[in-house]
C-alpha cells in the first residue's frame, strides 16, 4: 500500500474507534480508521453491553431518579477518589449527549431494570453489543469521508522535527506504508489483557485469573505512546471481575448472584467480603482466597430474580449448562461442593441473623449492590451455588489524558497531535469500577477524541 495523507487517523475498530471516526467526519474531517484484525468490533462486540448513563428518558420511564451529579459522585466514590477528577467530569459532562448520539445512529436500548456494580440507582442502559458494532461499522462504511482498513497493523507513531505526532507506520498484506494525519491521531486500540507479560508487570495478583476479551488487546497502542513518553494512570488497579466460572469456556460473562442477595463463601465455607462492593474489588478478594475460587450461595428466591436479558443475571441458562449447582438442603449443597457442611450451614444462619438485625458486623454489608437494594435472607429451598473466580475482561487503565482526550506525557504536557479513547485511557475508574462505565467511556471519550482531533490545526 502506498503512503498517503488524511486529516485524522484512528487506530482501532471498537466502539471508541468508530465513535471517534464518525464524530470527526461529522466535523468535516477526512478519516482513516485502521483495525489490525480481520473483523471490526474488538472487545466492544463481546462485552456485556451496558452503558452507564444518567438522567435519561428510559430511566424516567421506569420511575428512576438519576442525575449527572449522582453519577459523578458514584464514579468518584467507587474509584475511591483515585480517579482523575477532570476525566470523570468529562465523562459526566458528555454522557447524556453520547446516549442521544447513539440513538441517532440507530442503536436501540432496552429498558433500565436494575442497579449493578457501583450504581446507587439503576443506570445500566443495555444494548446488543455485536449488533451495535455492526451498525456503527455500516455507518462508517457508508460515509464518504471515512476510509476503513482491516487486517492492518500500526507498528509505530511518527513524530515530526517539532515533536508533533504526525503519522503512523503500518503494515498489511500489501506491505509497509506511512499514513500522515494533517490534524490528529486517535489511539483507540484497547487494553492489554491478552498480553500476559504486561499484565504480570503491572498486576501479578491476576496471574491466576481467567482472561477474556478481544483478541487484539495486546497493548500495541500503549507501547507506542509509552515510547513517546506518555504517562499512565490506574495501572496499580488492574483487577479481575468476580463471578466467572473457573472452568467454563462457553460463557464469557460473569454471574453476579451476589447483587440479588447471594453470599460469597470460600473453601472453608465462610464469608470473606462485603458482597455489595464493586465486582472488581470482589475479584481481588476472591483471588486472595485458597486456589482463587469461591462460591456464590443463594436460594430459590434469589434464583427467581434472575433475568435472561442481562448476561450477568442469567441464572437459568447457567443452570441449564450445568454451571450452577442445585440441592434440596444446604447440607446437601455443601457436600456437592465438597465444602465443610457445618461451616456452610452456620455461615448462612449467621448471615440470616445479620439480615434480621439490620447489621452485618463481619463485613458491614448494608445493601445488595453499592447503596441500592435491601438485604434478604437465604432460606427458601432449593438452594444453589455458583463456583466463581475472577476474570480479566479489560485492563481499565492506561494513558493519562486531559478532558479533551489529549495524551499527556510524564512531565504533564500534552503530546501534540496524539489523542486517546476507550480502554487504552486511564484515569476514569480509579481503584474500582462501575458497571457500564467501560463501554460508556468508549463512546463518550471516542466522541471527544474525534472532535478534538478534527478541530486541531492542520500541519
DSSP letters, 320-356, are HTT-SEEESSHHHHHHHHT--HHHHHHHHHHHHHHHH
pLDDT value of position 280: 83
Residue 297 backbone dihedrals phi, psi, to 5 degrees: -115, 130
Residue 134 backbone dihedrals phi, psi, to 5 degrees: -65, -40
What is the separation, in whole angstroms, between the first and last Cα of the chain? 23
CA 44 distance to own-chain centroid: 9
pLDDT value of position 438: 94
pLDDT value of position 450: 98
pLDDT value of position 459: 59
Could you report the average pLDDT of every consecutive run of 10 residues in the chain (459 residues)? Answer: 94 98 98 97 90 97 96 96 97 98 97 88 95 98 98 97 96 96 97 90 82 87 97 90 84 85 98 93 92 96 91 90 96 98 98 96 95 95 96 89 98 98 96 92 98 87
Query: What is the 3-state composition of the chain as percent helix, strand, coil, each rounded to the nearest 5?
Result: 35, 20, 40
Asked whether the beta carbons of 51 and 169 are under 8 A apart, the reply is no
| Kind plus residue range of the DSSP H or E element containing 318 | helix 315-320
pLDDT value of position 196: 86
| Kind plus residue range of the DSSP H or E element containing 59 | helix 57-61
Q: Give the residue from 8, 10, 9 showing the smallest Cα distance to 442.
A: 10
Residue 399 pairs in a beta bridge with 232, 425
How many whole angstroms separate alpha carbon 381 and alpha carbon 299? 6
pLDDT value of position 69: 97
Q: Give the residue from 190, 25, 19, 14 showing the smallest Cα distance to 99.
A: 19
pLDDT value of position 39: 95
How many whole angstroms separate alpha carbon 289 and alpha carbon 286? 5
Asked whether the beta carbons of 310 and 268 are under 8 A apart, the reply is no
Which pTM was predicted?
0.85
Compute the radius of gyration of the chain from its Cα atoms. Answer: 23
How many whole angstroms separate alpha carbon 154 and alpha carbon 229? 18
Residue 179 pairs in a beta bridge with 4, 168
Residue 154 backbone dihedrals phi, psi, to 5 degrees: -85, 125
**Is there a cis peptide before residue 382, judged by omega within 30 degrees of 0?**
yes
How many whole angstroms separate alpha carbon 344 and alpha carbon 37? 47
Return the axis-axis angle of helices 341-357 and 330-337, rounded to nearest 10°: 130
Q: Give the residue from 15, 300, 16, 24 showing the smallest Cα distance to 6.
A: 24
pLDDT value of position 70: 97
| Kind plus residue range of the DSSP H or E element containing 441 | helix 437-455
* Three cell numbers written together for 138: 455500516
**Please, what's the b/e burial string for 237-262 (b: 16 or more CB within 10 A of its CB; e: otherwise)?**
bbbbbbbbbeeeeebbbbbbbbbbbb
CA 171 distance to own-chain centroid: 29
Residue 60 backbone dihedrals phi, psi, to 5 degrees: -60, -35
Q: Give the residue from 136, 135, 151, 54 showing the smallest Cα distance to 435.
A: 54
Amino acid at each position: 500500500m502506498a503512503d498517503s495523507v488524511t486529516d485524522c487517523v484512528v487506530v482501532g475498530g471498537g466502539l471508541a474507534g468508530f465513535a471517534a471516526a464518525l464524530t470527526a467526519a461529522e466535523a468535516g474531517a477526512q478519516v482513516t480508521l485502521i483495525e489490525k484484525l480481520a473483523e471490526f468490533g474488538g472487545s466492544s462486540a463481546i462485552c456485556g453491553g451496558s452503558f452507564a448513563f444518567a438522567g435519561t428518558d428510559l430511566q424516567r420511564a421506569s420511575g428512576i431518579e438519576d442525575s449527572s451529579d449522582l453519577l459523578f459522585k458514584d464514579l468518584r466514590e467507587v474509584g475511591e477518589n483515585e480517579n482523575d477528577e477532570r476525566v470523570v467530569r468529562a465523562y459526566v459532562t458528555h454522557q447524556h449527549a453520547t446516549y442521544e448520539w447513539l440513538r441517532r445512529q440507530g442503536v436501540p436500548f432496552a429498558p433500565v431494570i436494575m442497579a449493578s456494580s457501583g450504581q446507587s440507582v439503576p443506570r445500566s442502559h443495555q444494548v446488543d453489543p455485536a449488533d451495535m458494532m455492526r451498525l456503527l461499522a455500516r455507518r462508517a462504511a457508508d460515509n464518504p469521508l471515512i476510509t476503513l482498513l482491516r487486517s492492518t497493523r500500526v507498528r509505530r507513531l511518527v513524530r515530526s522535527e517539532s515533536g508533533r505526532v504526525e503519522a503512523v507506520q503500518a503494515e498489511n498484506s500489501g506491505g509497509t506504508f506511512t499514513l500522515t494525519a494533517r490534524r490528529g491521531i486517535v489511539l483507540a486500540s484497547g487494553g492489554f489483557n491478552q498480553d500476559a507479560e504486561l499484565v504480570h508487570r503491572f498486576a501479578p495478583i491476576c496471574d491466576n485469573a481467567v482472561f477474556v476479551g478481544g483478541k487484539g488487546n495486546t497493548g500495541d497502542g500503549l507501547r507506542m505512546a509509552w515510547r513517546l513518553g506518555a504517562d499512565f494512570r490506574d495501572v496499580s488497579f488492574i483487577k479481575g471481575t468476580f463471578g466467572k466460572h473457573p472452568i467454563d469456556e462457553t460463557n464469557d460473562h460473569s454471574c453476579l448472584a451476589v447483587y440479588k442477595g447471594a453470599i460469597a463463601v470460600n473453601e472453608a465455607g465462610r464469608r470473606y467480603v462485603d458482597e455489595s462492593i464493586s465486582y472488581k474489588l470482589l475479584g481481588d478478594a476472591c483471588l486472595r482466597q485458597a486456589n482463587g475460587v469461591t462460591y456464590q450461595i443463594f436460594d430459590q428466591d434469589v434464583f427467581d430474580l434472575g433475568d435472561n436479558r442481562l448476561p450477568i443475571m442469567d441464572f437459568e441458562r447457567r443452570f441449564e449448562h450445568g454451571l450452577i449447582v442445585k440441592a434440596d438442603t444446604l447440607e446437601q449443597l455443601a457436600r456437592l461442593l465438597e465444602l465443610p457442611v457445618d461451616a456452610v450451614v452456620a455461615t448462612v444462619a449467621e448471615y440470616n441473623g445479620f439480615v434480621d438485625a439490620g447489621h452485618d458486623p463481619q463485613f458491614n454489608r448494608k445493601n445488595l449492590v453499592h447503596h441500592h437494594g435491601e438485604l434478604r435472607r437465604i432460606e427458601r429451598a432449593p438452594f444453589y451455588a455458583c463456583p466463581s473466580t475472577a476474570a480479566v475482561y479489560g485492563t481499565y487503565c492506561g494513558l493519562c489524558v486531559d478532558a479533551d482526550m489529549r495524551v499527556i506525557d510524564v512531565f504533564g504536557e500534552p503530546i501534540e497531535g496524539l489523542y486517546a479513547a476507550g480502554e487504552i485511557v486511564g484515569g476514569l475508574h480509579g481503584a474500582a469500577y462501575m458497571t457500564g462505565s467501560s463501554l460508556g467511556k468508549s463512546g463518550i471519550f471516542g466522541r471527544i477524541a474525534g472532535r478534538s482531533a478534527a478541530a486541531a490545526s492542520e500541519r
